Chains A and B, each alone.
Chain A
Amino acid sequence: MSGLVRVAIIGSGPAGLSAAARAAQLGLSHVLLEKTDHLSDTIFKYQKGKRVLATPERLDLRSDCRFGEAARETILADWDADAAASKVEVVYNAEVVEVTGAKGAFEIRTAKGDTIAAEAIVLAIGTQGNPNRLRCPGNDLPHIIYQVDDPEDFKDRHITVVGSGDAGIENALGVAEEALENRVTILNRSKEFARAKAKNVADLTEAGENGTIDIRTETQPKLVEEGWLTLETPDGDERIACDTIVARLGSVAPRAFVEAMGIEFTGPDREAFPKLSPTFETSVPGLYVIGALAGYPLIKHCMNQGYDVVEFINGNTALTPADEKDLAAIFAGLPQEKSVSEWLDFLRARVRIFADVSPLQMREFMLDSTVGFYRQGEVVFEKGDPGSSLFAIAEGHAEVEVAPGVTVPIEEGSIFGEVGLISGRKRGATIRAGADSIFVEVSRTAALKLMAAVPGAKRAIDRISLERQLLQIFKGGLTVEDLAPVVEGAEVVRVPAGKVVLTEGDEGDDVYVIRSGSMVVEKDIGGKPIFLRYLPAGSYFGEMAVLSGEKRNATVKAAVGSEVIKLTGAGFKAMLAARPQVREATEAAVAERAAMNGFIESRKASYASAVDLYSDTASFIMKEGLGEATDALLIDENLCVGCDNCEKACADSHEGLSRLDREAGKTFAHLHVPTSCRHCEHPHCMADCPPNVIHRGPDGEVFMEPGCIGCGNCMRNCPYGVIRMEATPPPKPGLLSWLLLGRGPGPGEPSPKWTKKRLGEEKPKKIAVKCDMCKGIAGGPACVRACPTGAAIRVSPEEFLSIARLEEDAG
């Protein structure tokens, strides 16, 4: 490569390609470096025929390349044509391995050893990273592949899958499909499949038992040859026939590569992104980062940024970002007249948690937020309302109603609503505007991103939320000052599911507050652990020992992965000493808990079987993950006649797809937990949704708003396997015409056969489908309404396991 280019673009995904096209249109000397032999590898690797979605809809596309909702093939073909039409200089098979130098004179080195000199660099390598390769001899042979696009491509072959994570297991199950007649082996270096989801492990074990997959544990590849693979097993080496090796060994995230260039990140967490200026410039001048790597995973964002960044590099400072009009709409309802950037500066100056936020980040957070003007006295939210968003006070102040008629002010610049943010539970108090005020409401996802990206914001939110949580638990006139001794020594501890926090009979006087997750309290009665109580987030435990000075009188363990705040006994005592009222209230609560324990113990003697059943039922429910549920479907199999009317009702209430699988799932003592969403307190499914369409609704329901792009992340992240990727079936004839004339497939989800016949060649897009708790349906959950026998009910674990249940059973 000769000469110095004005801008070198690394990575030809939607971001890089759009940047290169702009550079070409502007006549800048440029080069687009791509690792593979085609453009846009991430999209190239989507499943064949996948419909690529163009969200967010309201955002305009600003790029020299075309993009709109279409099949993967159409989009890739368009881009090839657009790149050629713009005369983009692409170099394929040019994997960049090192960047040195500084603005005006960067030097880029590729894996092949070529070097390119550039004045500026746009880094658009996405977040896919590089797959880890096999480490044994022969690892460069072409029959080793790193992903399976379509299991149907493999027929009648010897296939060995290396890797024991979800990806490996899913691929192995895919190619082991009976009709394909492959002979499939999966290798696992260790004994257990510890990294994979329980569902996948169960399916794999079953396939192993059925003989469709040969599972080899404690086995590794030793030598790869054409048609053969030598294995290192506990009983010595073994050579097996093997035509294809699927290596699923995870991938190296690009972060180390990016950091090696000197680019700083916002923090150490996995969620962190490179620090960027409003023009996408990193901490290294002249080096720009855009696209998924910059934290913008949607194709439209990527393409717009490609266009913008090259305009910025070319000296266009007047360019307003494409999201300007969306931001303007967010600020439109406010009484003052300000431009978007004035508003953003105003917020950053006023609100403490925004102080460390960069202007670019601020734009993004605001897109996920709303700003509202509230008249004095207007209610922002009521106690008991569901909601997980965070509010910040930009102007005016808020009043918290701590008791009827008693309010406490929250000052300008501070925040409120943070408890729902952390625990996902309902609002703990009613909040009103104390004066005419401007409040910013930040969605939970945006707030979590903010905390991950800006350490200062995280510290401020953590401290405020701990103080407020304590104030709420220990009422009685406690002030923030009283809390100082407790808060100073407080420590946040992560507890994995099942781990014991307190052991019965141990010494200790620390007090714990559950910040997120939930705990179960058990006591050893007659040599058997008996379930005493379920503690949801926001409760506290360990206080009995502090007050009595005795040993722990019960064991407390995490029902699900949780976070507890550990307060020292000494600090806690100091707090109680300062406020006798608080001491009294705490003692009363302790007495109540002790009475309940006493009740269970006394029943254990006379009604052992009822107490055992109660306790075993509780353990079963916790084991099924209902400890993190807020609302779950439970079927009593003493009543269920297997009519599946619940599934039919669900399908008929929602575009024809059932969101529950009645028969699947575990059962204990005729209590059955069907496969259906539990509306988790901390929904795992929300973790990684590119268009951010999974939300919690006003009744606590976790639902998807329109805009799902069908990437399947939520399905993989949900540990309970309740999300389906499905296409909406075509509408069917009405009920009467089925009843009277026999037209259509009848109530419930139509059979795939019927759907296929209806649709013919048309391939509708598959999107994520899950229970939305019949959101917006006035009558409530259809599954429950439609059960003829009363077998199906929806419960919250807290109420379901209340002591009243035992009282009814054991008098």
Chain B
Amino acid sequence: MASLFSGKILRRRARATQTERVRERRHEGFLRYAGFRWAKISGGLCLLVIVSYALIDVQPRPNGGSWYGYTLGTVGALLILWLTALGYRKRRMTRDYWSLKAWTSAHVYLGLSLIVIGTWHTGFQLGWNVHTLAWALMMLVILSGLYGVIVYATLPAALSNNRDQMTQMQMLEAIRAFDRQLHAAAQPLGAADTAPVLAALEEDPFAGGIRARLTGRYPRCATAAAQRALAAATGGEAEARAKVVALLTQKQAALARLRAHLRLRALLEVWLYVHVPLTFALIAALSAHVISVFFYW
């Protein structure tokens, strides 16, 4: 595996810790980092476990309690602690050289290798006990991580296309601007027509709850309702109403952009609210597992 850390990279790293700035020429995502270095390491590790499991004849049978099982269990537990440390690394801005991209790359691939390390450690003895709880939690964390990687790989381009060089603040500001214009344009309208417009003006662009946020569907959108109501309305002030309807349509487009933006951001984040709490549950279950095996062994 030595060739994976070729001399060039180590030198570059040493240089970067001195004074010279490394300027990159191309973007390279965390999955492709350093020519899939961590994918190779992790794949190799899995292969090693699978092959050795098949070759080594553990007596009486492969089990977490054998020396082989202990080895894999310890490696797995250490990996889990290290994987958890990503949350700390991400926020701890020390002044030495490190790259969160490299950490994420290693995190993802080594995290996946736990499927093999953890499962082979058990010797496939799963049942309804605290041990298997730890295993199940680990698998859930890994699954949520997998979802994370998929959204990280697919959604950013959509986020970028949707915002079309606008910032979130500008999107909000655009909606407020339409509100101001609506306020002025709605003055001549009669009471029946004014009510839905007022409701649209009072609408909070952020409201709608978690479900709406994640699906991007806002069935009770007051702006859409007002637009429908006024478009269907008849009677006096037709010209003013047409103007208000046009503005409502524009505001709806602005709202749609903001909502798509919030939805994509939510999808990119929501899984961490599963991934991280489950990580802590996993650590708790794992501690229980380790303590219990020492007591009852």
Contacts and interface: CB of A to CB of B under 8 A. Distances in A.
Instruction: Tell whether A and B belong to one assembly.
Output: yes
Interface string B7-51: 000000000111111111111111001000000000000000000
A65 to B, nearest CB: 44
Nearest to A794: B23
13 contacts: A636-B29, A637-B156, A639-B29, A640-B156, A648-B91, A735-B88, A785-B97, A788-B100, A789-B101, A789-B152, A793-B26, A795-B25, A804-B25
Interface string A722-735: 00000000000001
Contact of A778 (B97, B101, B152, B160): B97
A639 B177 contact: no
Nearest to A773: B21
A653 interface: yes
A653 B159 contact: no
Contact of A699 (B19, B33, B98, B163): B19
B90 A786 contact: yes
Given A698-B19, A800-B25, A641 B160 contact: no
B268 interface: yes
Contacts of A777: 95
A785 B100 contact: yes
Contacts of A786: 90, 93, 100
B24 A779 contact: no
Interface in B39-96: 87-88, 90-96
Interface string A774-811: 00011111101111111101111001101011001000
Interface string B161-177: 00111011000010011
Contacts of A780: 16, 21-22, 97
A779 B168 CA distance: 31
Interface string B140-162: 00000000000010011101100
A514 interface: no
Given A699-B19, A796-B23, A641 B177 contact: no
Given A638-B160, A778-B95, A789 B21 contact: no
A631 interface: yes
Contact of B101 (A631, A700, A788): A788
Contacts of A634: 27
Contacts of B95: 653, 777-779
Interface stretch (A112-120, A660-668, A756-764): A660-668
Contacts of B20: 699
B187 interface: no
A793 B164 CA distance: 21
A795 B26 CA distance: 8
Interface string A198-210: 0000000010011
B67 to A, nearest CB: 36
A631 B93 CA distance: 22
B265 interface: yes
A467 interface: no
Interface in A667-713: 667, 670, 672, 698-700
A739 interface: yes
A788 B30 contact: yes
Contact of A788 (B18, B90, B94): B90
A779 B98 contact: yes
B26 A788 contact: no
A795 B23 contact: yes
Interface of A: 206, 209-212, 631, 634, 636-643, 645, 648-649, 652-653, 661, 663-667, 670, 672, 698-700, 735, 739, 747, 773, 777-782, 784-791, 793-796, 799-800, 802, 804-805, 808
B180 interface: yes
B91 A793 contact: no
Contacts of B21: 631, 699-700, 773, 780-781, 794
A810 to B, nearest CB: 14
A667 B99 contact: no
Contacts of A805: 25-26
Nearest to B99: A785
Contact of B268 (A641, A661, A698, A799): A641
Contacts of A779: 16-17, 94-98
Nearest to B164: A667
B287 interface: no
Contacts of A793: 24, 26-27
Nearest to B103: A788
B25 A664 contact: no
A808 to B, nearest CB: 8
B125 interface: no
B104 interface: yes
A790 B167 contact: no
Nearest to A699: B21
B17 to A, nearest CB: 5
A781 B101 CA distance: 13
A641 B65 CA distance: 42
Given A649-B93, A665-B165, A805-B25, 15 more contacts: A210-B173, A210-B176, A211-B180, A211-B184, A637-B160, A639-B27, A735-B88, A747-B91, A785-B99, A786-B90, A789-B30, A791-B29, A793-B26, A794-B24, A802-B25
A785 B98 contact: yes
B25 A790 contact: no
Contacts of A785: 97-100
Contacts of B104: 788-789
Nearest to B22: A780
B292 interface: no
B27 A790 contact: yes
A526 B276 CA distance: 54
Contacts of B167: 661, 663-664
B215 interface: no
Contacts of A640: 156, 159-160
B88 A739 contact: yes
Interface in B98-121: 98-101, 103-104
Contacts of A698: 19
Contact of B165 (A666, A735, A778, A787): A666
Contact of B156 (A641, A700, A794, A804): A641
B28 A778 contact: no
Contacts of A665: 165
Q: Which of A211, A631, A700 has the most CB of B within 10 A?
A: A211
A210 B247 CA distance: 12
Contact of A645 (B26, B90, B177): B90
Nearest to B105: A790
Nearest to A652: B93
Most buried by A among B17, B87, B92: B92
A523 to B, nearest CB: 23
Contacts of B91: 648, 652, 735, 739, 747
In the A-B complex, the 10 residue pairs with the smallest Cβ-Cβ separation, listed nearest first, are A637-B160, A210-B177, A636-B27, A779-B97, A663-B167, A790-B101, A652-B93, A793-B24, A788-B104, A747-B91
- Name the residue in A666, A786, A788 with the highest tally of chain B Cβ atoms < 10 Å from its Cβ: A788
Contacts of B184: 211
Nearest to B177: A210
Contact of B92 (A211, A699, A735): A735
Contacts of B25: 795, 799-800, 802, 804-805
B29 A790 contact: yes
Contacts of A642: 156, 159, 265, 268
B293 to A, nearest CB: 28
A778 B93 CA distance: 12
A641 B149 CA distance: 11
B173 to A, nearest CB: 8
Interface string B196-233: 00000000000000000000000000000000000000
B47 to A, nearest CB: 27
Contacts of B173: 206, 210
A787 B105 CA distance: 12
Contacts of A789: 29-30, 101, 104, 152, 156
Contacts of A799: 23, 25
Contacts of B93: 649, 652-653, 747, 782, 786
